[in-house]
Structure 1
């Protein structure tokens, strides 16, 4: 059975500007510039204002919880695919999928980008399922926590990225 989760991230950035960054190349290239074990493939299959961002990263052993290390069969590579649709009025929808090697897992869900009085927010709703006998249910909360940490890390990077451009 999959574990469901949801959370919201706030940004002091207008929807149109945030959407343009999320569907553009510069933000993602900058985000992954210092990640030696990560790869990035960005395309625009739905045309301008849309994106498909595929990220693959080999996770360092010291970053993997002990419970997970015990069941790994090989190096842990995490793949995430984000798809963003074009803006419709002042909102945009997106989806995400995540999988990992060495441990059978899947994460999927939706994004909703919408305006707020202070800028914008992304509502994230999804589920995670880890298919490992006996310990899969114990690993699912760890995978959910990882998703939250990654999303919060990306939020901080994006806010800083926009702040740096405003200073120029």
Structure 2
């Protein structure tokens, strides 16, 4: 069984600046410099103004929900790959995939970055599938919620990065 989801992340940053930050190695390196259990690989396979971000992280055990801990077959490892295309006519499209080790989870979807009167918005649309008998359906909303938390954390990181750049 899989679960579809859709949500938006609001930014106070203009779309051109946000796209530039999302496709800049320095912003991602800044975001991950304190993450002791994470790895980050950045490439630009489609040239300037685009990026592919591969991330892995081992979450601390105390941050893993009990229902997930009970379903784990081994240590939990989260993997996510994001891609961002060029900004064209004020809009950039991207995509993401995610999976986990220790519990069979797959996630995939799209991003659309566009301007708003207050700055920018990223619309996130996707699906998640947790292949665990009996409890997979109960875990899928937790995975969706985790993605929302991560993207909101990235929003705070990007906005802090901008503040530091303009200081």
Q: Number of residues paired by the alignment?
A: 167
1:116 corresponds to which residue? 116
Structure 2 residue 52 is matched with structure 1 residue 52: yes
1:153 corresponds to which residue? 153
Distance (whole Å) between structure 1 residues aligned to residue 92 and residue 22 of structure 2: 11
2:61 corresponds to which residue? 61
Question: SS of the counterpart of 2:145?
Answer: helix
1:17 corresponds to which residue? 17
CA drift at 1:34: 0.1
TM-score (norm: length of structure 1)? 0.97
Question: SS of the counterpart of 1:34?
Answer: coil
1:88 corresponds to which residue? 88
CA drift at 1:154: 0.7
Question: SS of the counterpart of 2:134?
Answer: coil
Question: SS of the counterpart of 2:89?
Answer: coil
- After the TM superposition, which segments of 4 or more aligned residues of structure 1 sit over 6 Å from their partners? none
Write the deviation string for residues 16-54 of structure 1: whole angstroms up to 9, x where unpaired.
111111111000000000000000000000111111000
2:165 corresponds to which residue? 165
For structure 1, which runs of at least 5 residues remain unmatched after alignment? none
CA drift at 1:7: 0.9
Distance (whole Å) between structure 1 residues aligned to residue 2 and residue 72 of structure 2: 20
Distance (whole Å) between structure 1 residues aligned to residue 46 and residue 161 of structure 2: 25
Higher relative contact order (CA 8 A, sep 6+): 2
CA-based RMSD: 0.7
Distance (whole Å) between structure 2 residues aligned to residue 24 and residue 37 of structure 1: 22
TM-score (norm: length of structure 2)? 0.98
Question: SS of the counterpart of 1:103?
Answer: coil
